[in-house]
A and B are shown apart, each in its own frame.
Chain A
């Protein structure tokens, strides 16, 4: 069965960087884009960016351009999201999510999600 298992909770100081991992299993990793979404406490979902494991193409939300990097290591079926120059506003739960494709290979939402990684930024 498809699973996305994320790394554990992180506590960081302002100005630091955080790198969250997302290990995929149960499917061919390189065939499905991975996206990253975050959610601050009591707030809504915020899309951050995506990566195509087959080639490494990426795209980012304008808000995070220059501060977020999404990568993959296909040898271990793992995606990573690194966010730099952290502030208290980056305190949130970070999710990875797999893109669903239809039979004719049309993208159709995020069908599998990781369990979420809490990141706390505090001095």
Chain B
């Protein structure tokens, strides 16, 4: 079965740029979504089709996908962005990556 790999944790200083990678075999040939999940809440879609932002998602969130790696980038990271982030490959199956905990310190 298809697998997506994310680092368990990523740290960033406030105002700096955070990059969260997601790797999978030929991932660039699939669409990738990214979700943000804060403790006790349902996930929120922050990026779809590799690099598109849903309405209401701040411009500081961006995405890219090429080769075997997709990346979520948060520019000018804020304390409110501290959360778990999950990538998802959009295929016949909708597998998720293991998640990355973003710490803003």
Which A residues lie within 8 Å of B44 (CB)?
Answer: 113
Total count of chain A residues near the partner, CB < 8 A: 25
Say whether B49 contacts A111, CB under 8 Å.
no
Contact among A59, A61, A95, A100 with B48 in the assembled complex (CB-CB below 8 Å)? A100
Say whether A50 contacts B42, CB under 8 Å.
no
Minimum CB–CB distance from A98 to chain B (whole Å) comes to 10
Minimum CB–CB distance from B78 to chain A (whole Å) comes to 23
Minimum CB–CB distance from B57 to chain A (whole Å) comes to 11
Say whether A45 contacts B96, CB under 8 Å.
yes
Say whether B43 contacts A45, CB under 8 Å.
yes
Stretch at the interface among A7-15, A69-77, A83-91, A102-110: A102-110
Say whether A45 contacts B93, CB under 8 Å.
no
Task: Look across to chain A and name the residue whose beta carbon is closest to the beta carbon of B100.
Answer: A44
Please indicate which of the listed interface residues B37, B48, B86 has the most CB atoms of chain A within 10 Å of its own CB: B48
Say whether A113 contacts B48, CB under 8 Å.
no
Say whether A61 contacts B93, CB under 8 Å.
yes
Please indicate which of the listed interface residues B31, B33, B42, B52 has the most CB atoms of chain A within 10 Å of its own CB: B42
Interface residues of A in 33-52 (CB under 8 A from B): 35, 37, 44-47, 50
Q: Would you call B12 an interface residue if the criterion is a C-beta within 8 Å of the partner chain's C-beta atoms?
A: no
Say whether A109 contacts B88, CB under 8 Å.
yes
Say whether A116 contacts B42, CB under 8 Å.
yes
Say whether A106 contacts B49, CB under 8 Å.
yes
Interface residues of B in 25-44 (CB under 8 A from A): 31, 33, 35, 37, 42-44
A-B contacts, 25 of them at CB < 8 A, read A35-B94, A37-B43, A37-B96, A44-B84, A45-B35, A45-B37, A45-B86, A45-B96, A46-B96, A47-B94, A61-B95, A63-B1, A95-B43, A100-B45, A106-B49, A108-B33, A108-B52, A109-B45, A109-B88, A109-B90, A110-B33, A110-B35, A113-B43, A113-B44, A115-B42
